[in-house]
Amino acid sequence: DIVMTQSPDSLAVSLGERATINCKSSQSVLYSSNNKNYLAWYQQKPGQPPKLLIYWASTRESGVPDRFSGSGSGTDFTLTISSLQAEDVAVYYCQQYYATPKTFGQGTRLEI
Amino acid sequence: EVQLVQSGAEVKKPGESLTISCKASGYSFTSYWIGWVRQMPGKGLEWMAIIHPGDFDTRYSPSLRGQVTISADRSVSTAYLQWSSLKASDTAMYYCARQNDGMDVWGQGTTVTVSS
């Protein structure tokens, strides 16, 4: 299995400040034939299902605010929230969909 | 509107069988994989298994193989997750989700509680 490790486990950021969450995979999730990273980011608020934010490591899902951005390639990835809003308080997960099982990171709790 | 609607909460005893469902609408059911994700109380997301309703190809997490069975019925655009003998450790929230570029559409979740 590909192991996904997020850091930090929890993070407190002031409103309007930048939040950065890291995700490392135990092997590359870059598919050489199409040069795409099979890495997604999700946001989960209490009592709700997860919501897809980013796919292909850096493509924002339709309707996701542009303060959310993803970067990285190979085994190291980052989710950045450029200016934290109150509604961004949630747990964030990365997931690789390069191989089965399509494993998730352990989650990062983001607080204000 | 593209949506996945899951069956309601279940309370079962250890050893009982259970099937929960996930009904798709608003898109071609046979064109996308559907996966199941477990979230145990207070814990993170765990990918369980996936099925392609077009050809019924299935993939399981090695850690869960043999513990659950996934299936789909194209006639009613519904995917299923089945247990033959529940354990207390199966207590969790279960989500279905469409596998696209990432899991882009999620069901609302089904809570399963297993307790004697």
Q: How far is A81 from chain B (nearest CA, A)?
A: 19
Q: What is the tens place of the pLDDT at every residue in B50-102?
A: 999 999 999 999 988 789 999 999 999 999 999 999 999 999 999 999 999 89
Residue among A51, A55, A107 minimizing CB distance to B44: A107
Q: What is the tens place of the pLDDT at every residue in A56-99?
A: 999 999 999 999 999 999 999 999 999 999 999 999 999 999 99
- What whole-number distance in Å separates Cα of residue A9 and Cα of residue B85? 34
- What whole-number distance in Å separates Cα of residue B106 and Cα of residue B108? 7
**Is residue A40 pLDDT above 90, yes or no?**
yes
- What whole-number distance in Å separates Cα of residue A55 and Cα of residue A49? 17
**Is residue A34 pLDDT above 90, yes or no?**
yes
Tokens 């542009």 correspond to A66
On average, the pLDDT of chain A sits at 97
Please list the residues that pair with A10 across neighbouring strands: A109
Q: Which of B101, B105, B110 to mutate to test the interface with A (most CBs of A within 10 A)?
A: B101
Q: What is the tens place of the pLDDT at every residue in B38-52?
A: 999 999 999 999 999
